[in-house]
Amino acid sequence: MRFDLSDREWEIIQPLLPPTRQGGERADDRRVLNGIFYVLRTGIPWDDVPSRYGPPTTIYNRFRRWAQQGIWQRIFDELQARHPSTLEMIDTTVVPAHRAAAGAEKGASPAPSGPRRRRSAAPAAGGPRSATASATNAAGCGGSA
């Protein structure tokens, strides 16, 4: 499939995986790895992984177990050693942005400039009130006070 490991990629990764566990056969490593990579590339929940990759529980458990055992780190280290110029990592920790980056007005004052407008002219003109949260809370219909 589109995101599955090629034969060349599998040849590099296969020797880095832990040996078969005692007590029986485990699910096909290549199929499970393809399922893990599918989830990581598409961002779908683990439970929604296509059935061709095997049971979602197996895929998730293998991902977690190998993370705890340092298998992923070993794979990343090997790939980086083989191809240092092609491995790029992005740190997704918080990057602070200036409030103007989100559309806020520039300047020291957080208050908007100019007169403050009302949301609706209906209450001022004697029209019917809308059922906003503040109106329902004032009437005693709100949830928690």
Three-state SS string over 90-128 comes to CCCCCCCCCHHHHCCCCCCCCCCCCCCCCCCCCCCCCCC
Q: What would the mean pLDDT of 96-125 be, rounded to a whole number?
A: 62
Q: Is 131's pLDDT higher than 70?
A: no
- Give the other-Cβ count within 10 Å of 71's Cβ: 17
- What is the residue range of 38's domain? 1-7+28-88
* Predicted structure pTM score: 0.56
pLDDT in tens, 51-95: 999 999 999 999 999 999 999 998 888 888 887 776 566 666 666
Query: Is 82 within a domain?
Result: yes
pLDDT in tens, 11-65: 888 888 888 766 667 778 899 999 999 999 888 999 999 999 999 999 999 999 9
**Phi/psi at 61 (5° precision):** -65, -40
Query: Is 47 within a domain?
Result: yes
The answer for 18, left when phi > 0, alpha when psi is -120 to 50, beta otherwise, is: beta
CB 30 within 8 A of CB 10: yes
Query: Is 121 within a domain?
Result: no
Query: Is 64 within a domain?
Result: yes
